[in-house]
Structure 1
Amino acid sequence: MKLLLTSGGIRNDSIERALVDMVGKPVAEASALCIPTAQWGHTMCGPESVRGFITGLPPWGGMTSMPWRTLGVLELAYLPSIGVERWQEWVRAADVLLVDGGDATFLAHWMRESGLLELLPELHDTVWVGVSAGSMVMTPRIGREFIAWAQAPDDTTLGLVDFAIFPHLDVFPTNTREAAQKWAATLELPAYVLDDESAISVVDGEVSVISEGEWFTLGPAS
């Protein structure tokens, strides 16, 4: 699987070009599924924000309003009740998975429970496009600061990459450079701090930063 781990989505031409390069064809020729699951685990999200992500309405819009050839919705919490033989066909047919933000520990839980995590190694050409928690879920840990789901046992996530992500630099009052430094000091991991104009691509193990904004690294590898 190819990963495009964004802070705020497909926010500029550089990130969009990276997406097209990873998919290998124009957006208008690609099929996508959007996954809003992480939103249900965050206290700041709810029915209106989920609808906004799915429809592409502002201020949540962006990725789902791109001119995809086809676009569908995949809610991970429903998948265990309908059988893998049904939903795996939908996932395998998609070129791109658009995974929204919310709470990354909640998303990790449902990726395991649904069986989607087990399927990922088979999706060699599929592009995972994460936003915020949809990106952070791929890291080993997110830090206590980013847990909003009350039932989260700890801050561990999936560990499919070996670095952490601090998103939304200077977008929210709590997401400052100083806050990122304190956060990184508790993780003992290489970490990328991204504003909403920045993203990380991971293809065949090669990690690259795409940015028209501000980003920096912290931790052991910085």
Structure 2
Amino acid sequence: MKLLLTSGGIMNKSIQDALVDMLNKPIADSNALCIPTAMYGHPWVGPGVKVWEFISGKENNPMVDLGWKTVGILELTALPSIGEDRWVPLVRETDVLLVSGGDALYLHYWIQQSGLAELLPSLQAVYVGMSAGSMVMGPNIGDDFVGWMPPNGADEALGMVDFAIFPHLEHEMLPGNTMAAAERWAAGMQGPAYAIDDQTAIKVIDGEVEVVSEGDWKLFKK
């Protein structure tokens, strides 16, 4: 599976060009499924108006509103209650998964509970994460980002990449997300970690990692 892990969505031409390259065809010819599940677990964003804004493409973080051929909704909390024949073929056939921000551990829990976790490695689709949707791909998220607490009480994530992500670096609405804070966070992580701002994305294809940025970022190595 190809991964495009963003902080704020498809925020500039460089990130959008990377997405088109990964799709290997125009956005207008590509079918998308959006996954809003992470938003329900975060008190700032859901449930309610902001979930609708993400699904409808009315928010300020471009993902759903890029001009896709079709856009559908894949709500992970609903999947355990319906047969796999209802949704697995849909996921296998889609060109891109657009995964919202919100609470990374809540998203991780429902990726596991829904059965999507087992499916992800075999998909041909491009996975585009935003904030929590990107963080969930790492081995863990770090104590700084723990909000919703999973049953096991741990900050473990999917581990589909070997690095962790600190999103929204130096964001004007998040005064605590400074480079100094990111450095302290990274010191507590077990492996490599990236701090990225909303003009930055991390592209992963077959394990090869490339940073795509028109902004600021830093890799903290172990």
TM-score between both structures, scaled by the size of structure 1: 0.96
Counting matched residue pairs gives: 218
**How many angstroms does 1:181 deviate by?**
0.7
Q: How does 1:1-222 map to 2 (within 5 A)?
A: 1-46=1-46, 47-59=48-60, 61-123=61-123, 125-151=124-150, 153-171=153-171, 172-220=174-222
Deviates more, 1:50-59 or 1:178-187: 50-59
Q: Residues of 1 paired with 2:136 and 2:213: CA distance?
A: 21
1:20-47 superposed Cα distances (whole Å, 9 cap, x missing partner): 0000000000000000000111111111
Taking only aligned residues, the RMSD between alpha carbons, in angstroms, comes to 1.0
Unpaired runs of 5+ residues, structure 2, are: none
Contact 2:105 2:149 in 1 (8 A): no
Amino-acid identity (%): 56
1:165-189 superposed Cα distances (whole Å, 9 cap, x missing partner): 0000011111100110110111121
What one-letter code is carried by the residue in structure 1 that aligns with 2:181? A
1:147-175 superposed Cα distances (whole Å, 9 cap, x missing partner): 11144611110101000100000111111
**How many angstroms does 1:144 deviate by?**
1.0
Please state whether the residue corresponding to 1:118 is helix, strand or coil: helix
1:47-96 superposed Cα distances (whole Å, 9 cap, x missing partner): 1111111111133x411111100000110000010111111011011100
**How many angstroms does 1:146 deviate by?**
0.7
Runs of 4+ in 1 over 3 A off after TM superposition: none
Q: Residues of 2 paired with 1:89 and 1:20: CA distance?
A: 23
**How many angstroms does 1:18 deviate by?**
0.3
Unpaired runs of 5+ residues, structure 1, are: none
Please state whether the residue corresponding to 1:139 is helix, strand or coil: coil
